Each structure stands twice: as structure tokens, then as C-alpha cells.
Structure 1
């Protein structure tokens, strides 16, 4: 019999889903890459080396090696994102990448040789196989695919998880309306921290905080923007409201910062503290920019969420949300305290705001 923290379970589940998406991306990418290679080399061309395979045989190899290489590349990407990136210098990162490329090539040769033996029973030794005529072109192709998939992964991270695919489909080419939840998350006492730490170390602090934010929030959330020491997070309305994901994300982030208190105190002499405002409503989403494209959200919902966050210090609360959002949430994990109807800067009318606090971690017995 043991107890589990729901937030902890959510973090683990979210991390596992994110890892699965990375593995899936690389498995599909490598499989398609080898299928493309089979088409190019197997239709209307003749192999120059000792190993000659028709198109169908090449497909057997592609569908065997592709997923295996995807698993290796995906695992390496997960390790890089979670354990290595931003933890070491760029010089060490490039050196590790170089070592991975060498190891990757060796593994590719071993997998390809084993696959050929499994399906066709080739009689040449592995060294002759690796140096067969035309192998150099294949190695160059593999390196190019590896680079392309890594670049696509970085672009996907920059646009927000899943948005690259939607961008290719043209979903954002014309403005569309969506109902979304927005959270504005702001680092408190930022001016004092910047004066105390200096600009470089302060930037490192903000960078570290946002790295932790990416780790803490569930995969159903999208980090829309970083604006100085402020982050804007968004969910589609159903996902953000379900299981109170939009509120749980804030407390998961707060919990992670608390767990890393020793690290922050040792390196920056403080423990960062954030306050947030949350609202739900209709926004317009579209692709903007000609030479620097960006997926942008427009609408009063975003402005309202930002103004709510701006009331945190005045109302003495770390997390505020609009009554509109509060009425859509069904929760026993959180307490809501009405702070009254307040005037928000730039808005004519008043809006009722509620303060949020935890009832305490929900526990389950297994």
C-alpha cells in the first residue's frame, strides 16, 4: 500500500507522452527516408556494388531498419532535450554530437548487415559490406536525413508542439476562430533580481526557469510566447478545462521550482516565484509575417488574461482567474475565493476575478 500524488502522476504521464511523440516522429521519419531511398535506387536504376536488390527487397529492408533507427534517434533526442541541452557548453554539445554520429553510423552498418543476412543470406563479410561500392553515397544520405530530422524537430519546438504539421496543411493561412484558455505567467520581483544579479546572470536565471516550465507543464499545453521574463501558455478550451489542466500546470511548475530550491539558491541566491492570470474565450489564430513567419493569436481574451495577471500583486494572490473560466471548471482540488468585480486597464467594464488556492494534493491508495 502506498500513496501517489496526482500532480506527480500527471508529470510522469505528460513526460511519457512527449517521449512517445518524439519516438514516433523519428520512427516515421526514418522509415519514410529509407522508403524514398528504395524508390530512388530500386526503380529504373542498377546497383554498382556487389549487393543488388530489387525494389520490393529494398522495401523489406526499409521497413525493418527505419523503425529501429528511429528508436535510436528518438532516444538520443530525448536524452539531449532532457539531460544534456543547456546543461553543458556548446563545444561539449558539438563533441557529443560528433561521437553520436560515429556511433550512429556503426549501428546503422550492423543493423543493415544483420537485416540483409536475415532476408537474403549474403555471403560477404561485414567489412566488405560496409565498404561496398556506393556505400559512401548512402552514408552521406543518412547524415543528411539525420540533420534534416533534427532541424524539423527544432522548428517544431519553436512553433509549438504539433503546429508545424498544421502549418504544412495550411490551417493557419487564413484566420480561424478558436476557443482557448490563456495563462500569463510572470516572474515576480524581476527588476530587483536583474539589479542584484546583473543582466547576464539574470538572463541565465530566466532561461533556467523557462527550461523548468517546459519540463513541468503537461504536453497538452502550448507555450505560445516568451516576452522578457513572462511566458504565455495556451490550451484549447476542452483540454485546458478538463481535469483543471490549466490550474494544475501552474502548481506543477511551482512544485518543480520548490524541488530545485537548492540549485537556485546556490547559483542565483534566490528561489524564483511566479504569479499568473488565466482566462478563457474566443480568439483568432492565423499565420503572420512574410519573411519571419509566426503563428499568432488575436483577441480580447488574451488582453484580459494579461490584465488579470497584472492584478496579482494588488490583490495579494499568486493565481487569479476570471469568473468565466471558474464557472466552466469543476474541481475539488482547488478553492476559489471571489475577489470582487475589478476594473481592468484598457477595458470599459468590470470583470469578476477569483483567487485560486490548493485544497492539498489529492491522494490515491493502491
Structure 2
């Protein structure tokens, strides 16, 4: 039941973005097309067809086409992202989606034009292959191809920067460093050296790919953002309140562990090992800024990031999968009941001051 709800929510998000984009894109094309035809020298619209070429009819027709294309595109995009993308290259993925949208556009356009003509009492004038013979339809196909490519690029760039980050970069929110309060989690593969030696670099890379793919499937559910990947380590970040909500900043880790355990047979059959991860969690004030020109990205600077990394590094010492700073734990306890084991004041590697840390071993139910 929970899986069905999550799949439905993911599909709904794809559909909402796609239908919004394509409805707006085709509505704009309808406006351009209407005024271009009206302004073109030598073109005359017969009075008998005034109902079809009325501004409202044109806008309604292109808006409906955009909505339908958005539904098709959103469905195709979700299916490809979920089941196909890992098996083919990104370029082939985009090409196949464009071809499917092309075919859908032809059928949708024919349907909308047919309905529009019938409503206005005209005989449907189009024949089989009309879209190929009608050169006035070619600009629509080219527009859709270009728009589809732009939409795919926007999606790719958004995924590269992380949820919501691309828009913030566009408006220059972090052009100059800003102070924010965030929670970080460093997640690292246990026994990575021995696993790498056993599997070899190719199989090991495939293992990391599969693990982080499973991790990515959980990120949205727990309102998290992937900050960066460093080798076999993932750095996850939350807006402070989002991390506290429903204990997202610790529940994500246990959900990731459970997902890996549930896929025990898959990992054993493919790699001969079931991966286990360890993590450190901490939060506080940090600075956020755009860095780089050739390879621009959003960077977090401050002691919180370094401390979180050191906390994760202490997991092996205390033989626990998850360590959290007392400061963050006490903040979370203001809203949630959490059972932990106190390890005391610990001087972490590279730190001058000691920090109180706790181990959370068993996932607590809400």
C-alpha cells in the first residue's frame, strides 16, 4: 500500500511538471501562430472558417494539445526514468522520448482538429498522412522537437544541481555567501577497501552505482537533497526544519538500510555481498555560496560539514551504523521521542574541542 502511494506520488509529480510546461509551451505557440497568420501578407481566412480560426478556438485547441502532450510526455518520462534509463544512454533516452511525443502529437492534433471542425459544423478535411503533406504542420513538429529538447535539458540540469537548487542559482540567491541552518549526513560504505579488492574496480563501481540508485529513490520521501558523491560516500543535506520533520534525518538512513536488506538476494547474486553503510549526522549554521565558473556548483562551507564527516568516521571506533551529535539530537527530542546510547565527550580526528555524540542503533517507530 505504501509502495503504491509512493509510486503514485512520484508519477503525479512528473505529470504536474510535464503538463504545466507543455500546456504553457503550446499555448504560447498558439498565440504566435494566430498572430503570424493574421499578419502574413497574402493570406486570407474565408469567413466560413472564421469559427475555426477564431483566437479563442486557436488558443483552446493548442492548450488542449499541450495538455494531452504533457500527459503523454510525463507518463513516458516517468516510465523511462523508472524502468529504462539505467539500461540505455541518456542520448538514446531523450531521442526515444522525442519520437514517442512526435507520434502522440500527430494523433492528438488529428483528434483535436477533428473535434474542433465537428463542433463548428465543418467536414473534417484531413486525410491519412496529412501531417506529412501539410507543410504548415512542420513548424509545429520542429517547435515540439526543440521544446522537448529544452525541457529534457532543464530536467537534467535540475537533477544535476538537486531539487530546487537550479532555480535558486538562476535568480542568483547564492551569488553572495548566505548563512543558513542545515543538517548534514555523511553516508559511507562499510569495509569498502576489502570489498573493492574482492570485486575489482569494475564490479565495485557497479555496486556503488546500484547502492546510490537505491538511496536516490528514498531522497524525496524524506525531504532530503543529495549534496555530492565522493567515491563510495554520499553527502546528504536537509533544510533544518525538513530534517527534523518526522525525524527525516535519521529515518532516511534506516530506510536505506532496510532497502538494501530487502534486496539481499539481488546484491548476493550480482556481487556476492550485501552492502552495509555507516553514517554521521550533525547540523547547525553554515555558509552557502556559488563556486566555480567552468563547473559551477553550490557549496556549503563551515565547521558543521567537517564535524559531520568526523562523526561518520567514528562509526568504526564505536561499532555502530549511525552516530549523531548531541546538539542535534536534543533539538530533535523537542519534537520526537528517540532512544540513543551516549558515548560521552569524544575528541574527533582533526578537532580541537570534544563533542558529545550518541549512537542510534535501532529504528524507532512513529
- Give the structure-1-normalised TM-score: 0.88
**1:21-32 → structure 2 map (5 Å cutoff):** 21-32=13-24
Moved more, 146-155 or 105-114: 105-114
Report how many aligned residue pairs link the two structures: 351
Structure 2 CA distance for partners of 1:24 and 1:250, relative to 1, 3 Å = same
Question: Quick check: 1:90 aligned with 2:92?
Answer: no
**1:133-212 → structure 2 map (5 Å cutoff):** 133-212=135-214
Matching residue within 322, 325, 339 for 1:319: 322
SS at match of 1:43: helix
Aligned to 1:64: 64
Moved more, 326-335 or 275-284: 326-335
Structure 2 CA distance for partners of 1:360 and 1:241, relative to 1, 3 Å = closer
Structure 2 CA distance for partners of 1:221 and 1:334, relative to 1, 3 Å = same
Structure 2 alignment gaps of length 5 or more: none
Q: Following TM superposition, by how much is the alpha carbon of 1:314 offset from its aligned partner in structure 2, in angstroms?
A: 0.3
Mapped to 2, the partners of 1:29 and 1:49 lie a distance apart of 32
Structure 1 alignment gaps of length 5 or more: none
Mapped to 2, the partners of 1:327 and 1:321 lie a distance apart of 10
SS at match of 1:344: coil
Aligned to 2:125: 124
Deviation per residue, 1:61-111 (Å, 9 max, x gap): 23212122111111111111211121x2439x82x7655444322221221
Q: What value does the CA root-mean-square deviation take over the aligned residues?
A: 2.4
Aligned to 2:100: 103
Structure 2 CA distance for partners of 1:234 and 1:97, relative to 1, 3 Å = closer
Mapped to 2, the partners of 1:173 and 1:326 lie a distance apart of 32
Pick 1 or 2: higher relative contact order, CA cutoff 8 A, min separation 6: 1
Aligned to 2:12: 20
Structure 1 runs (4+) deviating above 6 angstroms are 47-52
Moved more, 272-281 or 34-43: 34-43
Q: Following TM superposition, by how much is the alpha carbon of 1:257 offset from its aligned partner in structure 2, in angstroms?
A: 0.5
SS at match of 1:85: helix
Aligned to 2:80: 80
Q: Following TM superposition, by how much is the alpha carbon of 1:201 offset from its aligned partner in structure 2, in angstroms?
A: 1.2
Matching residue within 290, 295, 300 for 2:293: 290
Q: Following TM superposition, by how much is the alpha carbon of 1:27 offset from its aligned partner in structure 2, in angstroms?
A: 1.2
Mapped to 2, the partners of 1:13 and 1:218 lie a distance apart of 13
Deviation per residue, 1:330-364 (Å, 9 max, x gap): 376742111101012222211000000225545xx
Q: Following TM superposition, by how much is the alpha carbon of 1:44 offset from its aligned partner in structure 2, in angstroms?
A: 4.1
Aligned to 1:37: 29
Structure 2 CA distance for partners of 1:13 and 1:348, relative to 1, 3 Å = farther
Mapped to 1, the partners of 2:229 and 2:356 lie a distance apart of 27
- Give the structure-2-normalised TM-score: 0.88
Matching residue within 252, 255, 258 for 2:255: 252
Larger radius of gyration: 2
